Amino acid sequence: MIEGFVSATETAPEGPHGDHTGYYNSVEDFPVMRVTAVTGRRQPIYLSTFTGRPPDEPSRISEALNRLFVPLIRQQFPEVVDCFLPPEACSYRIAIAAIKKRYPGQARRLMLGLWSMLPQFSYTKLLIVVDDDIDIRDWRAVMWAVSTRSDSSRDLVTLTDTPIDYLDFASPKSGLGGKLGIDATTKIPPETERLWGEPLAMDPDVIARVDAMWSRLGLMDVARELA
């Protein structure tokens, strides 16, 4: 245990420290602490995690927390089927949400709601909203939705001068930056005037017939590898 007093007026340069972003932080002034005592138990057990470029240990811990706050989101937005914060994006800078869409403009409403609902989302720079047929933990499926269900002239939501992680040196100002939302959901009138496409899907009877052929053709090992 480290005991001491933190000054309310005196500061000193701190850093650079390696952080969960995968970068060294800049040197900045922080309050000075005068240490008065350092105590510890005999044969103590020191618990810690390593920090580095994600995905790292803290980001894996955040994956568990991700499961916990989905029920909280659903209390306010019951249309949310699932929400995912990719660990590669520092576990909070990108979010993907899947919804059961019922009315036009619903994805935009959700974006604005999530950005202001939980402190975790106030630091989220990119928010992608997709339909509930998309596996939000499969980046290939998410990118397919973005590339086929969104148009940059209609489906981008941008905000400026919003609260942002002060560790994010990509933002133009410390603690203040922008946000981007992408509506990658199926569009319904009046969001579009065009006839919307229907996703390709194989008939269940055809799938069953093909599955039954694997063994007869001696391809069961290939089927297991593809599963």
Tell me the pLDDT tens digit for each residue of 178-218.
999 999 999 999 999 999 988 888 888 888 888 888 777 77
Residue 98 pairs with which residues in a beta bridge?
82, 130
Please check whether residue 125 is in contact with residue 166, taking contact to mean a CB–CB distance below 8 angstroms.
no
| Angle value at C-alpha 84, between 119 and 172, nearest 5 degrees | 50
Whole-number pLDDT of residue 160: 94
How does strand 126-131 pair with strand 94-99? parallel
pLDDT in tens, 119-148: 778 899 999 999 999 999 999 999 999 999
pLDDT of residue 87 exceeding 70: yes
pLDDT in tens, 91-102: 889 999 999 999
Q: How much is the pTM?
A: 0.81
The dihedral region occupied by 156, where left means phi > 0, alpha psi between -120 and 50, and beta the remainder, is beta
Whole-number pLDDT of residue 48: 78
- The residues, ordered by sequence, that sit 6+ positions from 64 with a Cβ below 8 Å of its Cβ are none
pLDDT of residue 63 exceeding 80: no
**In the structure, what pLDDT confidence band is assigned to residue 225 with cuts at 50, 70 and 90?**
confident
Active-site annotation holds for 56: no
Q: To which H or E segment does residue 13 belong?
A: strand 2-14
Residue 22 pairs with which residues in a beta bridge?
none
The CATH homologous superfamily to which domain 57-184 belongs is UbiD C-terminal domain-like (3.40.1670.10)
Least confident of 27-41, 55-69, 190-204: 55-69
Segment 53-76 shows an average pLDDT of 82
User: Rounded to an integer, what distance in angstroms lies between the CA atom of residue 24 and that of residue 20?
Assistant: 9
- 3-state SS, residue 56: coil
pLDDT of residue 15 exceeding 90: no
pLDDT of residue 223 exceeding 70: no
- 54-to-17, 58, 91, 165 alpha-carbon distances in Å: 15, 8, 8, 16
Order of strands, sheet of 156-163, starting from the edge strand that comes earlier in the sequence = 80-84, 94-99, 126-131, 176-184, 156-163
Compute how many other C-beta atoms are within 10 angstroms of the C-beta atom of residue 172: 11
Whole-number pLDDT of residue 227: 66
Identified catalytic residue from 19, 56, 131, 168 = 19
- Residue span(s) of the chain under CATH 3.40.1670.10 come to 57-184
Whole-number pLDDT of residue 89: 87
Strands (E), 51-199: 80-84, 94-99, 126-131, 156-163, 176-184
Tokens 């297991």 — which residue? 224
